[in-house]
């Protein structure tokens, strides 16, 4: 289901890369694994993905003790 408007809390793939401190490929792989929530959006003729990045998502170099479940 493609949504016409950007849902609150979702960012572009490139913004997610910067926030999570990882590469584009790693972000896409995490989406495919189901680690990150994603929504496809349509803006005119452009289509793209928006990723939900929460404040408590573990980043690449976080020590295991910093991850809360």
**CATH for 45:** 1.10.10
Q: Report the number of distinct structural domains present in the chain.
A: 1
Query: What pLDDT is attached to residue 25?
Result: 93
pLDDT at 46 over 70: yes
Does residue 61 lie within any of the structural domains?
Answer: no
pLDDT at 58 over 70: no
Other CB atoms closer than 10 Å to residue 18's CB: what's the count? 11
Q: How far apart are CA 54 and CA 20, in angstroms?
A: 10
Q: How far apart are CA 55 and CA 39, in angstroms?
A: 18
DSSP strand E in the chain: where? 10-12, 37-43, 46-52
More confident residue, 9 or 3: 9
Does residue 2 lie within any of the structural domains?
Answer: no
Mean pLDDT estimate for the chain: 78
What domain range is 50 assigned to? 10-56
Query: What pLDDT is attached to residue 64?
Result: 58
Per-residue pLDDT, averaged over 58-63, amounts to: 56
User: Phi first, then psi: what are they for 5, rounded to 5°?
Assistant: -120, 150
pLDDT at 49 over 70: yes
């Amino acid at each position: 289901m493609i949504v016409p408007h950007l849902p609150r809390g979702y960012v572009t793939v490139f913004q997610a890369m910067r926030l999570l401190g990882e590469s584009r490929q790693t972000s896409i792989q995490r989406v495919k694994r189901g680690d990150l929530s994603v929504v496809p959006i349509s803006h005119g003729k452009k289509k793209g993905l928006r990723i939900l990045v929460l404040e408590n998502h573990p980043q690449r170099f976080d020590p295991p003790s910093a991850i809360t479940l």
